[in-house]
């Protein structure tokens, strides 16, 4: 969870907290200060250990963005048991049926001779958007990328894909609230005096709630990562790269490189801890600049000493 953004590569988190209304720069807290901030989110490493934001150190005054992405990493995380193989096969079937239905509709439109009919084009564009949404985060991200590529996608399709950038269906509030309580280790009513009944925004990887900290009365935003989003993304990346390897000879290029770049960026976006580091680095860079407003982020609920 994150009141700004959460997730991780080396350390992983489902939630993180930051102020809704950014403040002017304030000095970075030291470990000896008891983390003098009003709210932060719980982070966990691969073994479930808890890590404080004070330990998210910056080397040489700049953020070292570290992502675990590699083809070997994706394969190792995706294929661990025979059951994982069945999940990959099931995912391939789901993708094939969904995209096959869309492209089959395009083919049928061409046969009938209505492929360029404005109403049909709008219908197919909406169908593509719904299909990518149904297939989940990896495909939503791909749609977001295509929405900015007029050299690849025609304008009417781009307009529909742009919806994926700011209007993605949310997941149930009960799941989100359970993640918040698990990550922060306290019931919601102890952490917040109020919290929005539903998300104020939803994206491909997570959604955001508005809340007021009970300890300080500050208004904050909580970003909660979608449940089980990482396994789905890793499974998709494994499938994408496998297909890219088969397509390499026919295409005469290295499509694996495109998948690798896409995968690296996706895992970076899952890393909410890195985002917290980026916020801190930005804060350090603009220390003493009164015109720059910077939110804060941290790793557990605390009151100011």
| Cα 246 to Cα 182: distance, rounded to the nearest angstrom | 42
Interior angle at CA 261, CA 255 and CA 263, nearest 5: 100
Q: Looking up tokens 């990896």, which residue turns up? A: 138
Count other C-beta atoms under 10 Å from residue 198's C-beta.
12
| Cα 106 to Cα 138: distance, rounded to the nearest angstrom | 23
Per the structure block, which two tokens stand in for 134?
């149904």
Alpha helices (runs of H) in the chain, residue ranges in sequence order: 71-78, 82-112, 118-135, 137-146, 155-161, 173-184, 188-191, 229-251, 255-270, 272-285
Phi/psi at 213 (5° precision): -70, 130
Count other C-beta atoms under 10 Å from residue 47's C-beta.
5
- Cα-to-chain-centroid distance, residue 199: 15
- Model pLDDT, residue 289: 86
Count other C-beta atoms under 10 Å from residue 18's C-beta.
26
- Model pLDDT, residue 101: 97
Per-residue pLDDT of the chain (305 residues; tens, 9 = 90+): 545 433 322 223 566 565 554 444 444 333 333 322 223 333 333 223 333 444 444 444 444 555 678 999 999 999 999 999 999 999 999 999 999 999 999 999 999 999 889 999 999 999 999 999 999 999 999 999 999 999 889 999 999 999 998 889 999 999 999 999 998 889 999 999 999 989 999 989 999 999 999 988 888 889 899 998 999 999 999 999 999 988 887 777 788 999 999 999 999 888 888 888 888 888 888 888 888 887 777 554 433 33
Query: Which sign does the torsion angle of CA 241, 245, 250, 254 carry?
Result: positive
Contact between 302 and 280 (Cβ < 8 Å): no
> What is this structure's pTM?
0.74
- Model pLDDT, residue 25: 42
For 192, the enclosing helix (H) or strand (E) is strand 192-195
- Model pLDDT, residue 68: 76
| Cα 113 to Cα 128: distance, rounded to the nearest angstrom | 20
Name residues whose C-beta falls within 8 Å of residue 48's C-beta, 6 or more positions apart in sequence: none
Per the structure block, which two tokens stand in for 128?
């593509």
């Amino acid at each position: 969870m994150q009141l700004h953004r959460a997730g991780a590569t080396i350390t992983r988190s489902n939630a993180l907290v930051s102020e809704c209304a950014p403040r002017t720069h304030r000095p970075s807290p030291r470990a000896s200060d008891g983390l003098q901030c009003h709210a932060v989110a719980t982070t966990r490493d691969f073994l479930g250990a808890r890590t404080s934001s004070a330990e998210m150190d910056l080397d040489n005054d700049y953020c070292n963005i570290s992502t675990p992405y590699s083809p070997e990493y994706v394969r190792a995380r995706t294929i661990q048991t025979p059951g994982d193989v069945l999940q990959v096969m099931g995912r391939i079937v789901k993708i094939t049926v969904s995209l096959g239905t869309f492209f089959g509709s395009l083919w049928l439109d061409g046969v009938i001779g209505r492929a360029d009919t404005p109403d049909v084009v709008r219908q197919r564009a909406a169908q593509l958007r719904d299909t990518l949404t149904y297939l989940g985060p990896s495909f939503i991200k791909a749609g977001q990328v295509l929405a900015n590529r007029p050299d690849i996608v025609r304008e009417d399709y781009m307009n529909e894909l742009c919806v994926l950038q700011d209007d993605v269906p949310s997941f149930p509030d009960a799941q989100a609230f359970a993640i918040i309580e698990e990550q922060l280790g306290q019931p919601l009513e102890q952490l917040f005096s109020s919290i929005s009944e539903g998300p104020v925004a939803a994206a491909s990887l997570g959604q955001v709630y508005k809340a007021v900290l009970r300890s300080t009365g500050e208004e904050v935003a909580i970003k909660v990562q979608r449940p089980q989003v990482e396994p789905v993304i890793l499974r998709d990346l494994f499938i994408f790269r496998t297909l890219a390897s088969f397509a390499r000879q026919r295409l005469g290029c290295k499509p694996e490189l495109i998948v690798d770049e896409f995968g690296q960026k996706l895992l970076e976006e899952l890393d909410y801890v890195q985002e917290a580091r980026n916020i801190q680095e930005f804060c350090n860079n603009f220390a003493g600049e009164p015109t720059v407003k910077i939110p804060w982020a941290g790793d557990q609920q605390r009151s100011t000493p």
